[in-house]
């Protein structure tokens, strides 16, 4: 997992002229919401070794004055952290931009001029921030740092696709590429088919589409989807399941299921929006079918190994049966793995990606982007998980790391907004409407959660079995080709022996 460390803006001022320009004031123009500490370091005894000046999150200009000091060896460092309203546990995030500025005087006018000669970012991230910082010396001992073009690291130029995935400003511009042998239409069809089947089988436990809670979730989900990316054919449909399971799921193409237990346990609307964003990111990235594709690839490799084994050891009479047994063995083993992969898109990569892009979607519609991290804290506090869905969700990857990662992204990369939605009256009303519905027993809830899991696993099973069937002929041909090859070699060898014998005569 990408781990972002502590960042800091360091501006080193070098005096290029004989008489150093005395500085008495530093002005920092910035966006409100950007908070942090400006550190001035100098060997000048008037300043002491360093001086820390606290930036106010509400100001757009901060001014600091001090006794006149020479610019020689003067270093200014800005440790910033955006999103001043991050939860307490996340407020230690800060970024470090390290800039070197040379400053001198025009010999004719005695005007002070500056030049940004170097800018560094700590830790090293693939972004170029040189365009978002301007340093000038307007005279009268003033140094002006203009950071108004800077609003989180996403306002820097990105170098490479990895950073594009982390920036909400790239939504709709970046490519979501995962190897996938299914079409977009396959995603929609498979998702709709299973959703219809699951709903038909569990009608009593699913709130009707016109239930106020469902209507509310559909509205939030529509806004999130409209602000997101991915194939236009993916449209969200939200279903609320009346079961005390702490989870939510998306099927390929856009069918999203939210369990009542999750709505009950969430402490804010932003937490719920975070989950919807996360699930929607699984849809836009097509993680479900990408994971089945991966399972196919594993199956190919295993089948090839099996076929090679068969060629080596099995006589022609047994060929067909042996091959069939191999396909059965491989697909049975894979269905377990493939089903689970499919169900949860649980690879570390997919979960991290859904956290990243989902929090960007939440940000895009003005929810606190760390809502999903807040909800993970609820998960951590809940002991004795009983449903398979909850167990699987809780393990991969570790929730603590996922919380930290979302906090890093929120504090450092996402543009600061003046205000975020934490919760709303609509959310409280929707939850109230849900709470007035009778709650099924805990056993029924767990049963429903597990049935859902089993059903999704079954889709993967069907897909993989079809694949085995589809490719049986291909593998048989490959085996046959090897047999023919071997037969030719036998003939050549036999001919060679005959010749040898002839020569020996």
Residues in the site for Zn ion, rule: CB under 5 A? 354
* Inter-residue contact 345 to 394 (CB < 8 Å): no
Q: Least distance from C-beta 11 to Zn ion, angstroms?
A: 41
Q: Least distance from C-beta 418 to Zn ion, angstroms?
A: 30
Distance CA(25)–CA(65), nearest Å, equals 4
* Inter-residue contact 340 to 263 (CB < 8 Å): no
Q: Least distance from C-beta 395 to Zn ion, angstroms?
A: 12
Gyration radius from the chain CA atoms: 31
Which one, 190 or 354, has the nearer CB to Zn ion?
A: 354
What is the CB neighbour count within 10 angstroms for residue 29? 16
Tokens in use for 244? 């005390």
* Inter-residue contact 433 to 213 (CB < 8 Å): yes
Distance CA(131)–CA(388), nearest Å, equals 50
The answer for residues whose C-beta is within 8 angstroms of residue 66's C-beta and 6 or more apart is 24, 25, 40, 46, 47, 51
Helix (H, G, I), strand (E, B) or coil at 244: coil
The number of angstroms, rounded, from the C-alpha of 209 to the middle of its chain's C-alpha atoms is 30
Q: Which residue is nearest to Zn ion (CB)?
A: 354
Name the DSSP letter for residue 140: T
The answer for residues whose C-beta is within 8 angstroms of residue 53's C-beta and 6 or more apart is 26, 37, 38, 39, 40, 62, 64
Q: Least distance from C-beta 366 to Zn ion, angstroms?
A: 23
Which one, 207 or 354, has the nearer CB to Zn ion?
A: 354
Q: Least distance from C-beta 363 to Zn ion, angstroms?
A: 18
Q: Least distance from C-beta 372 to Zn ion, angstroms?
A: 10
The torsion region of residue 36 among left (phi > 0), alpha (psi -120 to 50) and beta comes to: left
Which one, 69 or 354, has the nearer CB to Zn ion?
A: 354
- Sheet with 237-241: strands ordered across: 237-241, 255-259, 248-250
Distance CA(185)–CA(191), nearest Å, equals 10
Q: Least distance from C-beta 207 to Zn ion, angstroms?
A: 22
Q: Least distance from C-beta 285 to Zn ion, angstroms?
A: 10
Q: Least distance from C-beta 422 to Zn ion, angstroms?
A: 23
């Amino acid at each position: 997992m990408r781990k972002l460390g502590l960042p800091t803006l360091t501006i080193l001022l070098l005096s290029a002229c004989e008489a150093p320009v005395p500085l008495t004031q530093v002005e920092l123009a910035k966006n409100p919401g950007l908070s942090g500490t400006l550190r001035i370091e100098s060997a000048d005894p008037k300043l002491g070794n360093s001086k820390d000046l606290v930036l106010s999150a509400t100001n757009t200009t901060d001014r600091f004055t001090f006794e006149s000091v020479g610019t020689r060896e003067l270093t200014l460092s800005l440790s910033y952290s955006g999103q001043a309203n991050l939860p307490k546990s996340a407020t230690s995030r800060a970024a470090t931009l390290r800039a070197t500025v040379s400053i001198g005087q025009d010999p004719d006018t005695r005007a002070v001029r500056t030049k940004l000669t170097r800018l560094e970012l700590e830790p090293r991230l693939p972004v170029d921030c040189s365009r978002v910082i301007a340093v000038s010396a307007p005279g009268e001992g003033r140094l002006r740092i203009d950071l108004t073009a800077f609003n989180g690291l996403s306002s820097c130029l990105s170098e490479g696709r990895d950073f594009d995935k982390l920036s909400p400003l790239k939504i709709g511009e970046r490519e979501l590429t995962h190897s996938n042998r299914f079409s977009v239409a396959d995603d929609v069809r498979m998702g709709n088919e299973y959703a219809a089947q699951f709903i038909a089988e569990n009608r009593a436990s699913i709130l009707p589409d016109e239930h106020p809670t469902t209507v509310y979730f559909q509205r939030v989900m529509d806004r999130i989807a409209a602000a997101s990316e991915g194939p236009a054919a993916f449209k969200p449909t939200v279903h609320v399941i009346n079961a005390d399971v702490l989870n939510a799921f998306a099927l390929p193409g856009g069918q999203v299921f939210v369990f009542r237990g999750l709505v009950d346990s969430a402490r804010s609307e932003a937490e719920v929006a975070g989950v919807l964003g996360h699930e929607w990111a699984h849809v836009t990235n097509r993680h479900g079918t990408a994971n089945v594709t991966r399972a196919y690839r594993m199956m190919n490799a295993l089948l090839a190994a099996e076929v090679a084994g068969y060629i080596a050891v099995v006589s022609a009479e047994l060929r067909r049966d042996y091959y069939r047994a191999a396909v059965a063995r491989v697909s049975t083993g894979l269905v377990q793995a493939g089903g689970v992969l499919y169900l949860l898109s649980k690879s570390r990569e997919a979960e991290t990606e859904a956290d990243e892009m989902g929090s960007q979607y939440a940000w895009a519609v003005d929810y606190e982007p760390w809502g999903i991290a807040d909800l993970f804290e609820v998960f951590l506090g809940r002991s004795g998980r009983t449903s398979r869905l909850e167990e699987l969700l809780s393990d991969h990857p570790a929730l603590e790391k996922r919380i930290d990662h979302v906090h890093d992204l929120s504090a450092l990369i996402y543009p600061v907004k003046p205000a975020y939605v934490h919760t709303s009256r609509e959310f409280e009303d929707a939850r109230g409407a849900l709470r007035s519905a009778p709650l099924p027993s805990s056993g029924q809830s767990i049963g429903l959660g597990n049935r859902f899991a089993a059903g999704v696993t079954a889709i993967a099973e069907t897909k993989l079995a079809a694949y085995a069937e589809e490719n049986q002929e291909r593998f048989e041909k490959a085996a046959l080709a090897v047999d023919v090859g071997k037969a030719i070699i036998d003939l050549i060898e036999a001919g060679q022996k005959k010749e040898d014998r002839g020569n020996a005569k």
